Structure 1
Amino acid sequence: MSNTATSSPTHRADLPKEQRVFRTDVHGLRGLAVFLVVIYHVFVGRVSGGVDVFLFISAYFLTGTFVRRMETGKPIAAVGYWGRTFKRLLPPTVVVTFAILAATYIFLPPSSYVPMLKDAFFTLIQGENWWLINQATDYYAADRTAASPFQHFWSLSIQGQVFLAWPLLFALLALVLKAWERRFPPKSQHQHNIRVWGTSGIAIGAITLASFIWSVIETSADQQTAYFDTFARFWEFGLGGLVAIALPLIAERTDTLHPNSPKGRPWRFALSMLGVLALVSMGMLVDVAGKFPGWLAIWPLSAAAFIMVMGYNPILSSKPLQKLGGISYGLYLAHWPLLVLTLQVLEIPKAPFWLGVVLVIASLALAWLITKFVDTPFRRWKWAGAKTHRSVAVALVTVAIGLTPVVIAQSVLDAKAKKLELAAEINNPGAEVLNDENLYDPTNDPNVTILPTEADLPNDWFDAGPPCQKEGAPDTKEWKGASCNTSRQGRITGNNMLVVMGNSRMEQTSAAILPTAHKHGWDVMELTAPGCAVGMNNHDRCEPFTTQATAYLLSLHPSAVALQTTYVDENGDEVVNQGALDIAAKLRDAGIAVIATRDIPRLKTNLSSCAIEHAEAPSENCVEEIDPSIISDRPDGEAIANGGFFALDLNQSICPDAQCKPIIGNTYVFLDERHVTATYAATMAGIVDDQLSNEGFAW
């Protein structure tokens, strides 16, 4: 590089002033973007585009920083940048993380502790978006009570990953430029700047284009993953970077489009407000669920770019929006956990208007506190910012302070869970006592706790895992209580997948199938809707679900499907389920193995409630006798044999010798009159394995 380009690194005479002014309009835009996120989360339940703009603005300033360093010949100093940036960003994150964990401990049940700690861990290491992908999180789920209070950290994690990668990109570009100018020295500072802009623009443009193409493809094929995917979001940062590079070129050719220019302010303001209107209206005009972050994300980003190019907007530069911009980081951190935890404590899926107003006001107050007492002190900490090693040390210590209690708590809970699991194998064998006469039965031991506990009993439903995320999966929102969940992490394929299809009674049977499937290296999917027995309840609600579920299975082509081919009606009578047999035949003809499961007994009383009421002698007071035919030969036996299906019958283990008892093997058998508990069903896994093995089922 020639002396012209390097000997005077502080000479900026020919650099556009745009790069040296504080953009109050952009600062206000940041505040508006985050406020839109809050309003849409609390009141609307749609995507606002505010997060996309927030990421866009971050990249705008980030790119501008490194472009100016390259222009003046300064080193990129990636480590110093990381230290200064994360010194400021991490302390508020740690404070909010601790606040969420404390609220979880105080207000939520113990079952939520482990998931929260895992979320906290990935939040602190800037990987929450990948953890949410691993958990197949549905960002668009209408019921916020099922959401994690850490879920909003997905965007900050992506931002953190970009903050780590961007300096490395510019360090590489600086090396390329240095080699180029060593061979072809620039004739002037301006020529050097043009090379900086060109090199940076080409590199960022290529990355942006590649990421955008990937975003469109992945959004179309697997939107739930795309929403949180760093690579599908990279183009939004890239676009912000391109704007940062383009604005100096625009300002160089006209002094009208310049933040400090008095020229054309009326029409610049009018056009800027069109950009604001476009941003604010997107979420109201278009329901973008399932479409982000594909091509539709161009809408809010184009609006933001338009506002930046105009360079003048007194509304965005007004004091209220400047204040909002000043607390925008704290507002984003605070609003989501406050909303989700409130809804979870109150057990309501959505906040009514009055509560929403309270939550917004409370979020603003918390944001002010976070900004004043955490964000600002660390940002203005001169000692820490004076030396690179100090800022890096502060960032690392902050992460350590956050991670240490999280990791310790996780270890303690894991050890406790392992201890309880080992104890349960001895103290709560459940159905296993029916198959092994030598196995100790602790049912009558007063010192042993019956599982599930009385507190957990009403909610002892089986859950196969995260929601399905494959195109064509039934939209379970259409059927109240319906679920399409799977134990398989990531992308769903049919290979080594066993799908349990049917009603909620069949759903509970999944708990008996899952351990056996995992033992053989398979996964389980539950595709169920309450009250919708496959082939029987063909009314307006269930028939569409069964039709769509069957079509999905034929498309997915799992290795096996389990469904009930008998049906026990409200009177306790068992009949052949011909509709299910017809569907089973379709699946068999498609090359899918079918497990013909027998429906379970229906009781007249809630035996578990009876056992709790008569705790001194439940076996004497709470036994219900059923029709012996329900545990004898199956009415669909001939159809199973002729159809080439595999039979599964758990009724003898549920009501041995037609005697339905509330407790077997120190485990509650029944959730209510119609369902077994997931805990007891899981103890029948060995029975499932034995029966399917005897049937010749090939795992």
Structure 2
Amino acid sequence: MTGATPIPRSVSYRYDLDGLRGIAIAFVVLFHVFVGRVSGGVDVFLMLSGYFFLGSQLRYAARDNAAPSPWWPIWRTIRRLLPALVLVLGSTALAIRLLTPELQRMDLAWQFVASLGYFQNWELAAQSAAYDTASALVSPLQHLWSMAVQGQFYLLAIALAMLIIWARRAGVDLRRAVTPFLVLATVASFGYALWLQQIDQPLNYYSTWSRMWQLTLGGLLALHGGKLQLPPWLRVTATWVGLAMVLSTGFLFDGALQFPGVAALYPIGGAVLVILGGGHSRLSVVLSSGFMRWLGDIAYPLYLWHWPLLIITTAYLSQQTPTVLVGVGVVAVSLVLADLTHRLVERPLRQQAKRPLAGENRLAEAKAGLADHVAPRVRAVGAVLVAAVVATLLAVPAIWQARIDDLGDELLDARLYPGARALLGERVPVVADYQPDASVLPELYPPAWANGCMSVFGDDPSVLPVDEVGEGCIFGDPAAETEVYLIGGSHAEQWMTPLDILGQEHGFRIVPLVRQSCPAFAEERDGVFSEECQEFNEQVMERLDEVRPDLVISNSTRPMLELDRFIDEVPRSYPTLWDFLEERSIPFVGLRDNPWFLESDGSGFMVSWCVAETGDNEGCGMLREHAYAPVDPSARSLNSRPDMKAVDTADWFCPGDICPGVIGNLYVYRDGNHFSNAYGETLAPLLWREIREFV
């Protein structure tokens, strides 16, 4: 093949780029801790990873005597990256267990597995976890998305090198095709990043494919950057300007909203200029100094340690966001831990020998060394310890789920924790702690969701879960003749808790036809509900028309947050359901929605956590007038229809002027807008008074 320069066989090592890598990660830490913005350092780090790793793989592949086995570079990479990662993950899991049990959420549990498997970026995207600034509610493993992208790229780089070696052994020389391929991959990835930024920026930030251009560009520079000979004065200028661009990125751009799109060209361009500077200026000498190279050596463990330390410390101290004093302490401790990790974990366990050439038997040499020398045996013990911690971390989801299940199944003394029965006049004694444990409330889901009977984001909206699960989605008394259908979104599904109890007590069966973030309607008239929700509701209407249940229950109001309206109202779509049911003489009960507690950015306010941390029940609550209209907005329409009823639940959540976080010694909410199972169970007698005439 012709038309492109072949891969160079060697290149001078650039110690100044170690310094650049160190200062880039240092700025990541400083901006994470003190500024709350993305500095662009990770983008530079990824580009340098491509420069060093892909460059080395391709140069090795260009050797005539290159070994055709991928095992050595994979094993070398594992030994370079995994021990420090496992140490940090294990320490983080232990710290959460001992210091901040409220962080033991199942979404975080699965992030431990994803971080170990180097697919944390895709796990965060699947969890719709936008890259947030430091706070007590942010995942302490959020930052490991970039390690996942790096790990995935390393496997692709090894695969590319192996392809070149295998092809040459088959008589085909692909070396001249590498540059065109990398150029094409870089352009395609950058174009994809520009497109995805307009469609889904959170996914764009995490996606391997929109980040790939940063790494492949580094590989291109490793292959060809050294061939571009700039005049001395231009090399000096390029180095100074490039470093200034890298260091100023965080002040000029909000990377979480703009990277890896066009704006990412600024920090990446700065790093490119430093590379093209050649490493011969006075500034390059500074970047190659002992301190800067030390900073480069500890860059990886420093990046690993700083974020979980910051988040866990913030949560432990019950701070919403970290203070400057906490930040200073986190930076100092992170530097110490990073240095110790580099000296005691990374260096001893790293692969020291050069990469073998074809015909060399390193396995036999390793076995001999294990028998004759102490150092290999120490490394073997270290490997066993790493494997043990990995096995434990892989069990985190099961361990945390068991704890959640145990707490969820715990029976509370009704005399001490009357919950909503207090609204009926039952005595509320003084207790040492409110229940259930606030740290697990977000993981305690109502029966339909917990049993897989709720359609969630990503599920096929044309499928009703009850048709897939079968009898496992029939609640109450499955053998009863009277049949009640619960339809709508998660704010309807939460009523499964008291309805399941009532069905068992009074002899009716409940069938949930519910989907996440999808209220029930026959026709969408508000312009805010998704196409998937509309398709799901079409299936629900067909089923109701077919079975004609004895009663349908759903929500009758909600705040239209999508339109910046925060007081409950009747969306225009809701009456289309009522008309549909009235035409078929199907009875209906509409339940007024409960309050939505919101942070200033629109996310859910964890009211139960607030009460647990501060003890201020009313202060953590909200004014009733901020959640409810003076009169149930659905009452006039529903109560004028035959066999239909509006149930005003406002007093069940806001018995006075305040909507508190605790009623009858029970936490009312599992998150910012759904009531807890425990409180829902105590709502059963109040709900029965309203629906018994129908069943």
User: TM > 0.5 between the two?
Assistant: yes
Corresponding residue of 1:247: 225
- Post-superposition Cα deviations, 1:379-409, rounded to whole Å, max 9, x if no partner, equal 2656999936969999985663222223445
Corresponding residue of 1:319: 290
5+ residue gaps, structure 1, are 2-13, 182-191, 258-263, 435-442, 466-485, 501-506, 528-548, 567-576, 602-607, 609-629
Distance in 2 (alpha carbons) for counterparts of 1:599 and 1:176: 65
Corresponding residue of 2:495: 512
- Given that 1:513 and 1:688 are in contact with CA atoms closer than 8 Å, whether structure 2 keeps it comes out as no
Correspondence 1:50-69 to 2 at 5 A: 50-69=41-60
Shift of 1:212: 2.2
- Post-superposition Cα deviations, 1:315-346, rounded to whole Å, max 9, x if no partner, equal 32233211211111111111111111111111
Q: Does residue 96 of the first structure (1) align with residue 88 of the second (2)?
A: yes
- Post-superposition Cα deviations, 1:527-568, rounded to whole Å, max 9, x if no partner, equal 9xxxxxxxxxxxxxxxxxxxxx966448886567945389xx
Q: 2:269 aligns with which of 287, 295, 302?
A: 302
Distance in 1 (alpha carbons) for counterparts of 2:665 and 2:518: 24
- Post-superposition Cα deviations, 1:31-90, rounded to whole Å, max 9, x if no partner, equal 111111101101111111111111111111122112212322213532100001111211
Corresponding residue of 1:544: none
Corresponding residue of 2:209: 231
Correspondence 1:538-617 to 2 at 5 A: 552-553=528-529, 562=555, 564=557, 584-585=571-572, 596-598=590-592
Distance in 2 (alpha carbons) for counterparts of 1:231 and 1:367: 30
- Post-superposition Cα deviations, 1:643-693, rounded to whole Å, max 9, x if no partner, equal 9997563749959xx9xxx9x999848679x99952345438999999999
Amino acid at match of 2:591: T
Q: Does residue 454 of the first structure (1) align with residue 434 of the second (2)?
A: yes
Q: 2:329 aligns with which of 340, 358, 363?
A: 358
**Identical residues among aligned pairs (%):** 25
Q: Is 385-394 or 127-136 further displaced after alignment?
A: 385-394
Distance in 2 (alpha carbons) for counterparts of 1:464 and 1:242: 50
- Given that 1:128 and 1:154 are in contact with CA atoms closer than 8 Å, whether structure 2 keeps it comes out as yes
Shift of 1:371: 0.8
Q: 1:214 aligns with which of 161, 173, 192?
A: 192
SS at match of 1:20: coil
Corresponding residue of 1:21: 12
Distance in 2 (alpha carbons) for counterparts of 1:410 and 1:460: 14
Q: 2:120 aligns with which of 89, 108, 128?
A: 128
Distance in 1 (alpha carbons) for counterparts of 2:184 and 2:673: 57
- Given that 2:8 and 2:59 are in contact with CA atoms closer than 8 Å, whether structure 1 keeps it comes out as no
Q: Is 491-500 or 87-96 further displaced after alignment?
A: 491-500
Please report the RMSD computed on the Cα atoms of aligned residues, expressed in angstroms.
Answer: 5.3
Number of aligned residue pairs = 551
Distance in 1 (alpha carbons) for counterparts of 2:641 and 2:12: 78
Shift of 1:515: 10
SS at match of 1:522: strand
Q: Does residue 341 of the first structure (1) align with residue 312 of the second (2)?
A: yes
Amino acid at match of 1:374: V
Distance in 2 (alpha carbons) for counterparts of 1:332 and 1:62: 18
Shift of 1:105: 1.8
Change (3 A) 1:164 1:586: same
Correspondence 1:178-197 to 2 at 5 A: 179=170, 181=172, 196=175
Amino acid at match of 2:390: L
Q: Does residue 109 of the first structure (1) align with residue 80 of the second (2)?
A: no
Q: Does residue 387 of the first structure (1) align with residue 387 of the second (2)?
A: no
Corresponding residue of 2:181: 203
Shift of 1:355: 3.1
- Post-superposition Cα deviations, 1:330-370, rounded to whole Å, max 9, x if no partner, equal 11111111111111111223333333233222221111111
- Given that 1:565 and 1:598 are in contact with CA atoms closer than 8 Å, whether structure 2 keeps it comes out as yes
5+ residue gaps, structure 2, are 367-375, 446-453, 465-486, 501-509, 520-524, 538-553, 560-564, 581-587, 596-607, 609-627
- Post-superposition Cα deviations, 1:592-649, rounded to whole Å, max 9, x if no partner, equal 9999533679xxxxxx9xxxxxxxxxxxxxxxxxxxxx9xx98854412679997563
Change (3 A) 1:67 1:578: closer
Correspondence 1:324-473 to 2 at 5 A: 324-379=295-350, 387=362, 397=384, 400-408=387-395, 410-422=397-409, 424=411, 454=434, 456=436
Distance in 2 (alpha carbons) for counterparts of 1:169 and 1:595: 62
- Given that 2:106 and 2:397 are in contact with CA atoms closer than 8 Å, whether structure 1 keeps it comes out as yes
SS at match of 2:38: coil
TM-score (norm 1): 0.65
Corresponding residue of 2:369: none
Distance in 2 (alpha carbons) for counterparts of 1:92 and 1:234: 24
Shift of 1:177: 4.8
SS at match of 1:290: helix
SS at match of 1:146: coil
Shift of 1:173: 3.3
Distance in 2 (alpha carbons) for counterparts of 1:326 and 1:403: 24
Shift of 1:431: 11
- Given that 2:594 and 2:650 are in contact with CA atoms closer than 8 Å, whether structure 1 keeps it comes out as no
